[in-house]
Amino acid sequence: MVLSWIDWSIVIFVVLLMFFSAWYAKRYVRGTTDFLAANRLAGKYLLTVSEGGTGAVGTVATWQMIFCAGLSTQWWSMMSMPLGLFIALTGYVTFRLRETRALTLAQFFEVRYSRSFRRFSGSLCWLSGLLNYGAFPAVAGKLFVALLGLPETVAVAGIRIPTYALTMFFYLIVAIYIACAGGQIALIISDFLQESFCKIVLISLVVFLLMRFSWNDIAEGLFNSPPGQSMIDPFDSSKVKGFNIWYFLIGLYGSIYSCRAWQGNSGYNAAAKTPHDAQMANIFSRWRNLLKDISVILPPVVAYVILTSPTFRDLASPIIERLNQIDDPQVRTQLSTPIAIGYILPVGFLGMLAAMFISGVISVDDTYIHAWGSIFIQDVVMPWRKEPFLPKTHMLLLRLAMVGVALFGFIFGLVFPFKDAILMFFALTGAIYLGGAGATIVGGLYWKRGTTAGAFAAMIVGTIFAFGGMIVEQSWAGWLCPKLLQLFPENELLLAHSDKFFLNGQMVYFIAMVTATLTYIIVSLLTGHGQVYDLDKLLHRGKYAIAEEKPAANTEPEFTGMRKFLAKIGMGRSFTKIDKIIFIASFLWTMSWWLFFVCVTVYGTMFKIEKTFWSAFWHFKIWLWVVVGIAITVWLVAGGFHDLVLMFRDLRKSKLSESDDGFVEDRNS
Domains annotated for the chain, with CATH where assigned, are 5-415+582-653 (1.20.1730.10), 419-538 (no CATH)
DSSP string, 457-498: HHHHHHHHHHHHHHHHHHHIIIIIHHHHHHH-TT-HHHHHTS
Helix (H, G, I), strand (E, B) or coil at 162: strand
Run of H or E including 153? strand 153-156
Residue 661 has a pLDDT of 67
Beta-carbon count within 10 A of 560 CB:
9
Contacts of 335 (CB under 8 A, 6+ apart): 60, 142, 143, 146, 323, 326
pLDDT means over runs of 10, the chain (669 residues): 82 91 91 88 91 71 81 80 81 86 87 92 90 86 77 83 90 94 93 90 88 90 79 74 64 80 82 86 84 82 90 90 79 83 86 88 91 91 87 92 95 75 70 86 93 95 82 79 87 82 76 91 92 90 75 48 60 77 88 93 89 90 89 92 94 77 60
Percent of the chain that is helix, strand, coil (3-state, to 5) = 75, 0, 25
Task: Give the C-alpha separation, 523 to 525, whole Å.
Answer: 5
- Count CA atoms within 13 Å of residue 66 on its CB side: 28
- Count CA atoms within 13 Å of residue 406 on its CB side: 27
Find out whether 217 and 311 touch, Cβ atoms under 8 Å.
yes
Find out whether 636 and 48 touch, Cβ atoms under 8 Å.
yes
Task: Give the C-alpha separation, 288 to 419, whole Å.
Answer: 33
Residue 518 Cα distances to 28, 254, 370, 468, 515, angstroms = 46, 15, 33, 19, 5
Task: Give the C-alpha separation, 636 to 285, whole Å.
Answer: 10
Residue 554 has a pLDDT of 44
Give 553: exposed, middle or buried? Use CB within 10 Å, 0-12, 13-18, 19+.
exposed
Nearest residue to 66 via CA among 380, 295, 220, 309: 295
Task: Give the C-alpha separation, 636 to 650, whole Å.
Answer: 20
The residue type of 516 is A
Helix count (H) and strand count (E) of the chain? 28, 2
Find out whether 368 and 129 touch, Cβ atoms under 8 Å.
yes
Task: Give the C-alpha separation, 533 to 543, whole Å.
Answer: 16
Contacts of 239 (CB under 8 A, 6+ apart): 226, 227, 228, 229
Task: Give the C-alpha separation, 383 to 669, whole Å.
Answer: 9
Nearest residue to 207 via CA among 622, 662, 634, 658: 622
Task: Give the C-alpha separation, 306 to 96, whole Å.
Answer: 48
pTM of the model: 0.80
Strands 159-162 and 153-156: antiparallel
Find out whether 385 and 206 touch, Cβ atoms under 8 Å.
no
Residue 553 has a pLDDT of 44
Per-residue b or e along 200-235, where b marks 16 or more CB atoms closer than 10 Å to that residue's CB: ebbbbbbebbbeebeeeebbbbbbebeeebbbbbbb
Residue 422 has a pLDDT of 65
Find out whether 383 and 124 touch, Cβ atoms under 8 Å.
no
Find out whether 316 and 306 touch, Cβ atoms under 8 Å.
yes
Any idea what DSSP says for residue 42? B
Handedness of CA 326, 330, 331, 332 (dihedral sign): positive
Task: Give the C-alpha separation, 476 to 35, whole Å.
Answer: 43
At 154, phi and psi to the nearest 5? -135, 155
At 153, phi and psi to the nearest 5? -135, 155
Residue 265 has a pLDDT of 80
CA distance between the termini of the chain: 59
Give 160: exposed, middle or buried? Use CB within 10 Å, 0-12, 13-18, 19+.
exposed
Beta-carbon count within 10 A of 427 CB:
26
Task: Give the C-alpha separation, 571 to 579, whole Å.
Answer: 9
3-class secondary structure per residue, 524-585: HHHHCCCCCCCHHHHCCCHHHCCHHHCCCCCCCCCCCHHHHHHHHCCCCCCCCHHHHHHHHH
Residue 224 has a pLDDT of 81
Find out whether 334 and 64 touch, Cβ atoms under 8 Å.
yes
The residue type of 12 is I
Find out whether 20 and 253 touch, Cβ atoms under 8 Å.
no
Find out whether 143 and 335 touch, Cβ atoms under 8 Å.
yes
Task: Give the C-alpha separation, 501 to 37, whole Å.
Answer: 41
Residue 188 has a pLDDT of 93
Contacts of 584 (CB under 8 A, 6+ apart): 566
Task: Give the C-alpha separation, 254 to 248, whole Å.
Answer: 9
Residue 584 Cα distances to 93, 133, 552, angstroms = 21, 37, 22
Find out whether 182 and 28 touch, Cβ atoms under 8 Å.
yes
Residue 668 has a pLDDT of 46
Phi-psi sector, 154: left (phi>0), alpha (psi -120 to 50), beta? beta
